[in-house]
Structures are given as structure tokens and as C-alpha cells.
Amino acid sequence: MNHSRVTEFVLLGLSSSKELQPLLFLVFSLLYLAILLGNFLIILTVTSDSRLHTPMYFLLANLSFIDMCVASFATPKMIADLLVERKTISFEACLTQIFCVHLFAGGEMVILVSMAFDRYVAICKPLHYMTIMSRRVCIILVLLPWSVGLVHTTSQLAFTVNLPFCGPNQVDSFFCDLPLVTKLACVDTYVISLLIVADSGFLTLSSFLLLVVSYTMILITVRSRSSASMAKARSTLTAHITVVILFFGPCIFIYVWPFSGYSVDKVLAVFYTIFTPILNPVIYTLRNKEMKAAMSKLKSRYLKPGQVSAVIRNALFLETK
Ligand SMILES: *[C@@H]1O[C@H](CO)[C@@H](O)[C@H](O)[C@H]1NC(C)=O
């Protein structure tokens, strides 16, 4: 047996079709740009408008920040890789991607729980909202995702960092993730694979369960009342629940359902690294009157009427004399 250490991995990337790569390059570059712009706009809007300085919008801005992290640890490399023939990644960079995906995805799950808790207090205990959601509690809700993510990713990495890699080094995805990388180790990884699935599964399922419980209680409360404020609550809820399903669906499928095929996993990984981060700004802003009002105020502060369309026309070289 050849026991030389593997120093780099080869990523097979999103698609093996040569003809498709330029198109994918264009599409994913635009999507990535939209993720950065959309989420940055949310953070800018929330921080610059004092009417949005409430726990709900602080959590939303923090979600946007995590979304940018989720979208940024692998996507830029994946996009650049679409242009090169041999997509390699060093052993250290591969471990870094594993660290990041579990830190950020774990953080995203927990911040969705924080947001659900905030809505639960607002809707089910409206009279105590101000006292329960104090500045301290708000900061805890913002820091909790990062601490849980850190503990989770450290425990996952502890299983992997000492594995010997000596032969096969092809990772059939566009970034390094644990199930794919442990499969390449040249020892029996059955127990480690089980531990990894159990660790991720525990975090995913317990967050998901907490979300289901809090949204069920919220929905029961909303159903029993029927005022105008409840209509607003209902639209916020629909937004939250959509995001939860879009994010947890693929994660549960990849980690908790151990029999899924790896090519399915690749498509699902696109879902949570790209589509969820782009959908959050869309879902939360287009459906939310307060966000829309704050954004148009921001626009009128920084841009004179007509200036936006002029900028766009210039950028597209459509300006006629
Ligand atoms: C996250 O939430 C805290 C308040 O709890 C807030 O001060 C901070 O600005 C938020 N972060 C972002 C990126 O908006």
C-alpha cells in the first residue's frame, strides 16, 4: 500500500460538461453578486434606519451577514473553477472549507431558531415582549448561533483532522464536505461516518424541532385571533416558514438521510449555499412593508430620482445621445 500523504484534493466541480461551464460561470457569478448586494442592502437598511432598531430587524441583519458567509466560503472558488480544467484544492484549504460549512450552516440554523423565538414572544406574549427581549437577551440570541456553530464544527473536525489520506483524492462536489472527504480516507470510516451523521443530525433535527414547536404555537395563537395585526403576523410567518423549509430540506436530506446519492447531494448543496442566501433578501424585503419603506427612504437619501436608471443605462451601454 502506498502511504504517501495526500497534499491536495481534486474537486470534480458542479458539472463535467465543457459546453455548460461558460453558461454556469455567468449564471453563478450573477447569483453571487445578487447575494452580496441583496444582503448588504438589508444590513445597510437596518443599521441606517432607527425605526428598524428592534430585535426582529437586528436578527434579520445578522441572518443576512451569516447568509453572506454561507455564500462566500465556497462559491467564489467554485465560480473560478468553472474556467479551469483541473480543479484542485490543498489539504489545508479543504479542511478550512469543512470548518466553514459547519460553522456557517450551524450558525444559520440557530439564528433561524433565534428569529422564531423572537416571533414567539412577540405574538404569544405581546405584553411581556419589551421585558423579555431586553438588550442582553437580544445579544445572546445573536451570539448563540456563532457559539453553537463553533462547538459543532470543532467537534466535526476533530473526527477528521487525523484521518490518513493516502490514495484516492477526488471529491465529487464543488467544495469539500465531510461525508465526501471521509469516504476517501484509507482506513475504515464506518464509525466516523456514523458519528458525523449523528453530530450534524442532532443539530439539524433539534433546531428543526424547536422551529416546528415555536411556529406551531405561533400559528395556534394567530388562528385564535383575527385582527389586522394578525394579518401582518401571518405574512411574516409565511416568510419565516418558507426560509426554514428551503434551508432545512436539503440539510436534512444530506445529513440525516444517509442513503442519498452523492450527485443528488451536489445539487442540494447548491440549494443551501446559493439559493437560500439569495432568497432571504427577496422573501424578507419584498413582502415586508417596513423594509420597503426604509429602503425607498435610503434610496432617496443617496440617489436623486432618475439617477438609478441612468446608472443602469450607462452600465449597459444603452445611453443614447
Ligand atoms: C446583530 O445584532 C446586534 C444587536 O443584537 C446589532 O447590534 C448588530 O448590528 C447586528 N449585526 C448586523 C450585521 O447587523
Per-residue pLDDT tens over the stretch 122-137: 888 888 999 999 999 9
Residue 320 has pLDDT above 50, yes or no: no
Q: Helix 21-48 crosses helix 276-286 at what angle (to 10 degrees)?
A: 40
- Selection from 68, 51, 54, 38 nearest residue 115 by Cα: 54
Ligand 1 neighbours by CB, cut-off 6 Å? 43, 46-47, 58, 61-62, 65, 138-139, 142
Q: Which of 40-44, 143-147, 272-276 has the lowest mean pLDDT?
A: 272-276
CA of 69 to the centre of ligand 1 (A): 15
The answer to whether 244 and 283 are in contact (CB under 8 A) is no
Give the chain's radius of gyration (CA, Å): 22
Q: How confident is the model at residue 318 (pLDDT cuts 50, 70, 90)?
A: very low
Please state the atom number of ligand 1 nearest to the C-alpha of residue 139. Answer: 5
Residue nearest to atom 2 of ligand 1 (CA): 58
- Selection from 106, 109, 114 nearest residue 149 by Cα: 106
Per-residue pLDDT tens over the stretch 13-34: 877 778 888 899 999 999 999 9
Residue 87 has pLDDT above 60, yes or no: yes
Cα 165 from chain centre: 30
Say what the pLDDT of residue 226 is.
Answer: 66
For 37-60, what is the mean pLDDT? 90
Please state the atom number of ligand 1 nearest to the C-alpha of residue 46. Answer: 14
Q: What is the Cα–Cα distance from 312 to 308, expressed in whole angstroms?
A: 6
| Residue extents of the structural domains in the chain | 8-287
CATH number of the domain located at residue range(s) 8-287 in this protein: 1.20.1070.10
Sheet bearing 8-11, strands edge to edge: 88-90, 8-11, 170-171
**What percent of the chain shows pLDDT beyond 70?**
87
Say what the pLDDT of residue 102 is.
Answer: 93
Say what the pLDDT of residue 319 is.
Answer: 40
Q: Which of 195-199, 205-209, 295-299 has the lowest mean pLDDT?
A: 295-299
Q: What is the Cα–Cα distance from 277 to 74, expressed in whole angstroms?
A: 13
Say what the pLDDT of residue 282 is.
Answer: 81
Pocket test for ligand 1, best of 142, 144, 284, 291 (most atoms within 8 A of CB): 142
Per-residue pLDDT tens over the stretch 257-272: 555 555 666 777 888 8
User: Residue 170 belongs to what H/E stretch?
Assistant: strand 170-171
Residue 228 has pLDDT above 80, yes or no: no
CA of 114 to the centre of ligand 1 (A): 13
For 295-321, what is the mean pLDDT? 60
For residue 52, the 8-state DSSP code is G
Residue nearest to atom 6 of ligand 1 (CA): 58
Say what the pLDDT of residue 321 is.
Answer: 35
For 152-174, what is the mean pLDDT? 87
